[in-house]
Amino acid sequence: MLESAFFWLFGGLAVAASLGVILSRNTMHSVMWLILCFFNAAGLFFLLDAEFLGIILILIYVGAVMVLFMFVVMMLEVNEAVKREGWLQYLPVGGMIAVILFIELVAASTSGLFGSEQMAMAAHMGADVNNTVEIGKELYTRYLLGFEIAAIILLVALIGAIVLTLRERKDAKYQNISKQVHVRKEDRLRKVSM
Amino acid sequence: MAEVVFPFPFPENLELILPEIILAVMGMVVLLMSVFLSVSRQNIVAGVSIATVIAVGASVLYVSGSDASTTFYGYFVLDPFAVYAKLLIAIATVFAMMLSLNYVKDEANVGEYYTIMLFASLGMMLMVSATNFVTMYLGLELMALSVYVLVGYQRDVLRSTEAALKYFILGALSSCMLLYGLTFLYGSTGSFIFTEMGDIISNSGEDQRLAVLTGMLFVLAGLSFKVSVAPFHMWTPDAYEGAPTPITAFMSVAPKVAGLVVFMRILVDVFPGLQAEYTTILMFLAVLSMAVGNIAAIAQRNIKRMLAYSTIGHIGFILLGLIAGSNDGYAGILIYMTIYLFMTMGVFAIIIMMRRDEIQGELLDDFAGLSRVRPGYALAMGLLMFSMAGIPFLGGFWAKYAVFIAVIEADHIILATLGVLFSAIGAFYYIRIVKYMYFDEERVSFNFAKSAPLQVIVVLTTLVIVAIGIYPEPVMAMCRLALAGLV
């Protein structure tokens, strides 16, 4: 009883926060709503006995990814007036895609396949099941290959970001230390006969 | 500390993944080498990269003799099908790196360029060996991310940056569609493994049909984006035109091979129960691709854009093999991709050589009168163009022949007729280049880049195309043998 109350609380807040993300005009507010949404999603994970995933969600998404989002939003300087320009022009195509997706979602979710009678109620695991250990076992055995590929994807992202953005500035004044050390008296001093 | 008992033993048959290990390690070695080498000696990096890919090709052949075929608890497979695809990817990568030798030597960050190319081919090799959607998707993203960076590599060229951005955004969108489709498939089967999903989908009842169909639709759309099937081809012309030319050559062959191999594996393993449905969708896609590719190419003045549409057209023909759904059809796809690889690499080698005063000769007009200045290159280009058009007794003819015969055997006569029709329309713009080269007065002065690797590629690819054209049996037999892993 208490559990389902919490489910409705977290689920409802998550949906409301998601609406806030797409409806708020100020991009910074959207980011804030998204943080609220992530907190509630983490709450849902806790209800499913997945404490590890819940904490990871808060640590990584709220702690790192959203902070990055905020930096990006602050650097982008989105112009509100320009953003809303021409939305009528995109409405037919965008609206059509949205309607199709909505119909598909409703059709698929009412097909009975994802109904609660199909899925047995997730039973709570005993206190002796440590889900950090369970995730670790799966991740580093069965999914080891995927884990390694993900690591290489991150490496490529890192190299790519640096290659595409790092610029050596031509106008910056650098110290050439070797040149400074090897300078001789003759280079700097000149005898002038008066 | 709790005693942890691993539920699985250490992965067996790890030697099967040797080619990928070599690629990953050497990618990082090349990255470090370029840091320690002076600017004037960066060409060593290129040499090491090419040697690495050749070694990878050799190691693929070496491990293909192994008795085992899966490793990583069955999540990685090396069957004859994957071996053949990996060899094609390795050949395409070596060619693209040889094309790059002259092209990027004046660019900054040469080392990173080759590193990212190595990682791109690593992604493709993992894709073709994937037996489940997790490995497949990660390989796909590794490939895609690398190619985005390569497309935008000339960051001071506006065209290159624009192409990379367009490609990135549409590529991200296609990944979203693929993943969205996967959630439906996972929701209804509870598995990520191709064959397990295939069994469950084949035996599923009517109530699951809608969810599975929706999932399949999105997965097909996502994959179609990656291999530029119309109507998901919008990024192709811009990305091809803006990318550095060796990368255009690379991305018009290697990712297509990997993408189509995954396409075939997924259709055969995951959706055998929905063959009627996916055939209908593919027929629509194939006809549209053939039409868009062959008709829109006529209007192009830039040869890279023209080849982009030509790729879309070729992919349309290749889809005919998937529609046939028979062994002959799948073998036809492999034959088509093999021959397409050599044709495309040869054409791009000639395009890269056509530099005049540091400007890339990319317009069709630049080819006017080529036969009088450089009869050798004009002959090679002419042969490659005739081959692309599918003129008999050149390689390209047998490629089209293989898929057309397969689709006729499968009783899709109308589709085969349409294919021949569009092939005839396509012949117009290929042969137009021959007309420019042989019958028009020269309009610009040619200044060919002198580069031995480029000349080797031109000669080699032209010889291969002529040889396959005269004597196609060995290649065809090889492709049929390679199907052993698929069906």
Q: Does the structure show a pLDDT above 60 at B247? A: yes
* C-alpha distance from residue B409 to each of A133, B402, B418, B424 (Å): 55, 11, 15, 21
Flag if A144 and B135 touch (Cβ within 8 Å): no
Flag if B8 and A141 touch (Cβ within 8 Å): yes
One-letter amino acid at B140 equals L
Flag if B214 and A108 touch (Cβ within 8 Å): yes
Q: What is the mean pLDDT of chain B?
A: 89
**pLDDT for residue A89:** 83
**pLDDT for residue B128:** 94
Q: Is the Cβ–Cβ distance between B92 and B253 less than 8 Å?
A: yes
Q: What is the mean pLDDT of chain A?
A: 84
Q: Is the Cβ–Cβ distance between B55 and B22 less than 8 Å?
A: yes
Residues 6+ away with beta carbon under 8 Å from B331? B402, B406, B476, B479, B480, B482, B483
Considering CB atoms only, which of B7, B119, B153 is closest to A152? Answer: B119
In this prediction, residues B207-225 reach a mean pLDDT of 88
Q: Using pLDDT thresholds of 50, 70 and 90, give the confidence band for residue B384.
A: very high
Considering CB atoms only, which of B27, B109, B208 is closest to A163? Answer: B109
- Mutate which of B1, B3, B8, B200 to test chain A, going by most A C-beta atoms within 10 A? B8
**A135-171, pLDDT tens digit by residue?**
888 888 888 899 999 999 999 999 999 988 887 766 7
b/e per residue B41-68 (b: at least 16 CB within 10 A): ebeebbebbbebbebbbebbeebbeeee
**pLDDT for residue B8:** 65
**pLDDT for residue A92:** 87
Q: Is B126 on the interface with A (CB under 8 A)?
A: yes
Q: Kindly list the domain boundaries of chain A, sorted by start residue.
A: 7-78, 129-163
Flag if A149 and B208 touch (Cβ within 8 Å): no
Strand-strand pairing, B76-77 and B359-360: unpaired
Task: Taking the CA atoms of B343, B345, B349 and B351 in sequence, report the sign of the dihedral they define.
Answer: positive
Q: Is B211 on the interface with A (CB under 8 A)?
A: yes
**pLDDT for residue B339:** 95
| Chain A residues in contact with B155 (beta carbon < 8 A) | 164
**pLDDT for residue B203:** 86
Flag if B210 and A150 touch (Cβ within 8 Å): no
**pLDDT for residue A27:** 83
Q: Where is average pLDDT lowest: A9-13, B51-55, B439-443? A: B439-443
Q: What is the pTM of this model?
A: 0.89
User: A with B: how many residue pairs have Cβ under 8 Å apart?
Assistant: 93
Chain A residues interacting with chain B (CB cutoff of 8 angstroms): 104, 107-108, 111-114, 130, 133, 136-137, 141-146, 149-150, 152-153, 155-157, 159-160, 162-164
Query: Closest Cα of chain A to B395: distance in Å?
Result: 37
Q: Please give the backbone phi and psi of residue B304, each rounded to the nearest 5 degrees, phi first.
A: -70, -40
**CATH for the A7-78 domain, from 1.20.120.1200, 1.10.1740.10, 3.40.50.2000, 3.40.640.10:** 1.20.120.1200
CA distance B269 to B486: 8
Residue numbers of B between 304 and 363 with CB closer than 8 Å to A: none
One-letter amino acid at B125 equals M
The DSSP-derived string for B93-120 is HHHHHHHHHHHSTTSS-HHHHHHHHHHH
Q: What percent of chain A shows pLDDT beyond 90? A: 28
**pLDDT for residue B332:** 93
Q: Is B70 on the interface with A (CB under 8 A)?
A: no
Flag if A163 and B153 touch (Cβ within 8 Å): yes
Of all residues in chain A, the one with the smallest CA distance to B207 is: A111
Q: Does the structure show a pLDDT above 60 at B3? A: yes
In this prediction, residues B450-479 reach a mean pLDDT of 91
ipTM for the predicted complex: 0.90
**pLDDT for residue B254:** 94
**pLDDT for residue B39:** 78
- Mutate which of A114, A133, A145 to test chain B, going by most B C-beta atoms within 10 A? A145
Considering CB atoms only, which of B75, B152, B210 is closest to A145? Answer: B75
Name the DSSP letter for residue B302: B
**B311-368, pLDDT tens digit by residue?**
999 999 999 999 998 889 999 999 999 999 999 999 999 988 886 556 666 788 888 8
Q: Does the structure show a pLDDT above 60 at A119? A: no
**pLDDT for residue A156:** 95
Q: Is B139 on the interface with A (CB under 8 A)?
A: yes
| Chain A residues in contact with B134 (beta carbon < 8 A) | 143, 146
Q: What percent of chain B shows pLDDT beyond 70? A: 96
Q: Kindly list the domain boundaries of chain B, sorted by start residue.
A: 271-487
- Mutate which of B129, B145, B160, B185 to test chain A, going by most A C-beta atoms within 10 A? B145
More confident site: B75 or B446: B75
In this prediction, residues B395-400 reach a mean pLDDT of 92
Q: Is the Cβ–Cβ distance between B50 and B155 less than 8 Å?
A: no
**B256-314, pLDDT tens digit by residue?**
999 999 999 999 999 988 888 999 999 999 999 999 999 999 999 899 999 999 999 99
Q: Calculate the CA dihedral of residues B450, B456, B460, B461 and round it to 10 degrees.
A: -50
